Structure 1
């Protein structure tokens, strides 16, 4: 009797631990962006300081194959937004890329090779404390979140080509 009870208790305990560590869900539409500080390239930034802008948070890693495939597409998208005068909101749009790395400067080199030119590029340690990844509930990469001017999540992993339409709709409402 006690053996069965202990076995069931252990299964439940391990299940709860696995859910806690691996089952964190990402933020969803309408959630507020987390109030965390990110660091990189010798500076730090409180994410709430960017409120008032449209933000695309892009979580990636230099060691991540799917990320490296997506990076040039993201760089091209950013260039198109910033150089297209049809987007009245383009001056208020920024990408915040946050690399999850185990050390070194590979993320800078990979970002440069892909064409990353935006000012907000940060890194968090792959092992240890990574407040932005935890704050956004990121459990796989690449992952992106579109945030409106009020700091609300309005898109999770949106297609880059759909973002201008999404922002245009927000601007007109």
Structure 2
């Protein structure tokens, strides 16, 4: 009986030791992950995060929006700086992106009503221009569509999810936190009034 009791106590102590070791490793792993995990939505209630490679982060409010040059769906060469002096919603999207498809009719309605106050610059991030062109033509979207076939500009703006929108003021600087996920008409109207 003493032998069985002794073996049980040893097994219990070994179990406690293994459990504590596993918990310590889990805590260390979580701490290491927190160094590279970023809540890209800026919403403290959102679940999940994106892993950001070292040195790669989004452009924060107050920073100048990096200039770039892309071809438009119409074949013109367009620079972001062409819109200097205007408020700009710089939106990254793709035709295969479900949330983008939800957002785009809202953006069109907003653009139809506010194009004198703000420019929507929609940067398509897929390599197949034909898919983007068909999608835009089928749905009748009229705001400027730029083509980022190699995702150079998306990488420049640290885009990790689609759709993502940056809000640029007339001074050429980012003026609000970026929005990851689809925008509603109401959200766009409220954000427009917050830009200078």
TM over 0.5: yes
Return closer, same or farther for 1:137/1:54 CA change in 2, 3 Å cut-off. same
1:39 matched residue in structure 2: 71
Deviation at 1:152, TM superposition (A): 1.0
TM-score by length of 2: 0.64
1:111 matched residue in structure 2: 136
Aligned equivalents of 1:29, 1:55: Cα separation in 2: 14
The equivalences for 1:6-155 within 5 A come to: 19-20=52-53, 24-41=56-73, 42-82=75-115, 91-118=116-143, 120-125=144-149, 129-155=150-176
Q: CA RMSD in A?
A: 2.6
Deviation at 1:38, TM superposition (A): 1.4
Return closer, same or farther for 1:49/1:110 CA change in 2, 3 Å cut-off. same
Return closer, same or farther for 1:43/1:74 CA change in 2, 3 Å cut-off. same
CA contact (8 A) 2:168 2:195 kept: no
**Between structures 1 and 2, the one with greater strand share:** 1
Deviation at 1:132, TM superposition (A): 1.7
Q: Return 5+ residue gaps in structure 2 as ranges.
A: 1-31, 37-50
CA contact (8 A) 2:71 2:147 kept: yes
Deviation at 1:164, TM superposition (A): 3.2
Structure 1 runs (4+) deviating above 6 angstroms are: none
Q: Return 5+ residue gaps in structure 1 as ranges.
A: 1-11, 83-90
Deviation at 1:98, TM superposition (A): 0.7
Aligned equivalents of 2:127, 2:195: Cα separation in 1: 38
The answer to which structure, 1 or 2, has the higher relative contact order (CA under 8 A, 6+ apart) is 1
CA contact (8 A) 1:66 1:142 kept: yes
